[in-house]
Amino acid sequence: MPQSPRSREERDRLGFDETRDYLGAAVAALLPAPLIARGLSIAVDTDREVYAPDDAVSVRVVIRNRLPVPVAVTTSSRRLWGWEVDGALEASEEPRRDPGGSGVLSFRARERKTREWTWDGRVTRRDGRGVRSSPLDRGDHEIRAFVATERERPEARTTFRIE
């Protein structure tokens, strides 16, 4: 099948796609998993430092490959990354079932992955009356974001206050 002029321009004289870093991928394949995990940085922040009870909180997580080569980080479950509020995964104290398996979080050389969302500022809790969603108590609280590797878990934390 004839190639379009554009697809021919995107290939080098040896027929390799010029956008792929073959040498970098070969070097990255030789790196041990702990070194790759240490090559990731993660940051988490909120849009404000102080909130009223029941205020929505804008959260931003940035995971960055600091290495000059593409990497693939294997995670211990299908969860690639996550966030917690005061130790409650995704602001819920409900038990989670692990579906098993593993996952792979892939990055190009020096790539950043950004995820932003608005959390309603409430935590799901189980008490004597069942499961309910309630606002956080007044005081200081912590959001932690992490890459879900088994060891050498890259993580970041930020605090905010409910007044």
What local confidence, expressed as pLDDT, does residue 28 receive?
A: 65
Give the predicted TM-score (pTM) of the model: 0.78
Q: Which residues contact 26 (CB under 8 A, 6 or more apart)?
A: none
- d(C-alpha 115, C-alpha 12), whole Å: 34
Q: What is the mean pLDDT of each run of 10 residues along the chain (163 residues)?
A: 51 52 66 82 97 95 93 87 94 80 88 96 84 91 93 91 96
Tell me the fold of 5-162.
Answer: Immunoglobulin-like (2.60.40)
What local confidence, expressed as pLDDT, does residue 103 receive?
A: 87
